[in-house]
């Protein structure tokens, strides 16, 4: 594990204010009976359309995968200049060739399985930055959300998106120089949970030309019936609370299930043995001010015990979804760490 990376406290005050606004909006949309005011939740999310004109070196395109289910993706495609222009310090023999292929980063957004979407402005900015930093095509998927669509709908829709990569429509929608043999799954919070389960499903099915090279888990939304030390210790941290996370799990998991369901408690009493399951390497991002950190560390420990390759980076002052909120210093640092992981595989 790398040494923690510290950030300034001035930015934390701004983030706390932003998080209070987000939490208030979510509280208004969530009902005590476990349902959600979908109209209000959507109104609170500022959405931006796809833009064929490059913004900060990346243009975007929306593509429908399943019109009946409402499953679609937003493609974040770096421009030729973004991909090919070398740094000022690069020598001629290290310049990126014009025919250099780009890996694919398949991204699953967070939101407790119930809110947010790829065209939410923060995710549009985040995935645009991810595409540019990693010199990759980023595919951000919209899956059906709970509580209207409970487990396993988000997983089913997300895997449908992976299977779409084998189609002629995917070939026609993506740049000619994408590398289907270098696909990385990535997500934050609930999206990180989805990315893990997609890796698990992919190990048991034939994805044809699609080859998974790695999985990036950004502050994974995992849990269990037990209350961990971090959940008990960290009070009034930005954005999330134990109570809100319990509500999100109740909205997604099957009726009558508790948080030891294997979708939630990855290495809990009801989980299956992974020893004989072939999984790609994992990068595990953990925040020191995230009440989920103990579950995220246990996730890494479970992978290691099962003989899987996992690298954990702990950002001591990172709040939940700190990269999406662009928390000073730790946010930019995370993009560099993710790019390094992708470049090394």
Of the residues 189, 202, 251, 337, which is catalytic? 189
Does 272 participate in catalysis according to the annotation? no
Of the residues 157, 290, 294, 337, which is catalytic? 290
Does 179 participate in catalysis according to the annotation? no
Task: Give long-range contacts, CB 8 A cutoff, 24+ apart: 299-308.
Answer: 299/196, 299/217, 299/220, 299/222, 299/266, 299/267, 301/267, 302/266, 302/267, 302/274, 303/274, 303/279, 305/267, 306/273, 306/274, 306/275, 306/277, 307/275, 308/274, 308/279, 308/281, 308/282
Distance between start and end Cα atoms, the chain: 18
Helix 121-134 to helix 330-343 angle (10° resolution) is 50
Q: Name the residue among 257, 63, 267 with its Cα closest to residue 170.
A: 63
Helix 153-164 to helix 190-202 angle (10° resolution) is 60
Catalytic residue annotation: 189, 290
């Amino acid at each position: 594990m790398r040494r923690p990376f510290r950030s300034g406290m001035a930015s934390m005050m701004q983030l706390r204010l932003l998080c209070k606004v987000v939490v208030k909006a979510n509280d208004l949309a969530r009902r005590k009976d476990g349902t959600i005011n979908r109209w209000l939740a959507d109104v609170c999310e500022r959405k931006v359309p796809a833009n064929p004109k490059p913004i900060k070196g990346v243009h975007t395109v929306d593509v429908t995968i399943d019109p009946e289910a409402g499953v679609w993706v937003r493609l974040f495609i770096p421009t030729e200049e973004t991909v090919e222009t070398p740094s000022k310090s690069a020598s001629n023999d290290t310049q990126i060739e014009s025919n250099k292929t780009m890996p694919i980063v398949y991204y699953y957004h967070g939101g407790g399985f119930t809110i947010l979407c790829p065209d939410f402005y923060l995710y549009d900015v985040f995935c645009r930055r991810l595409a540019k930093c990693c010199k990759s095509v980023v595919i951000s998927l919209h899956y059906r959300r709970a509580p209207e669509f409970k487990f396993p709908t988000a997983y089913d829709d997300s895997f449908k998106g992976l299977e779409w990569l084998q189609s002629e429509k995917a070939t026609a929608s993506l740049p000619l120089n994408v590398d289907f043999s270098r696909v990385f799954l990535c997500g934050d919070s609930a999206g990180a949970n989805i990315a893990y389960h997609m890796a698990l499903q992919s190990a048991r099915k034939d994805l044809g030309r699609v080859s998974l090279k790695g999985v990036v888990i950004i502050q994974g939304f995992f849990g269990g019936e037990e209350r961990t030390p971090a959940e008990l210790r960290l009070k009034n941290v930005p954005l999330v609370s134990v109570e809100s996370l319990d509500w999100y799990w109740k909205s997604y998991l099957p009726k009558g299930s508790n948080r030891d369901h294997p979708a939630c408690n990855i290495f809990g009493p009801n989980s299956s043995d992974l020893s004989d399951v072939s999984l790609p390497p994992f990068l595990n991002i953990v925040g020191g001010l995230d009440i989920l950190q103990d579950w995220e560390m246990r996730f890494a420990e479970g992978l290691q015990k099962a003989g899987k390759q996992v690298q954990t980076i702990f950002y001591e002052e990172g709040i939940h979804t700190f990269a999406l909120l662009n928390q000073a210093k730790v946010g930019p640092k995370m993009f560099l760490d993710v790019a390094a992981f992708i470049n090394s595989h």
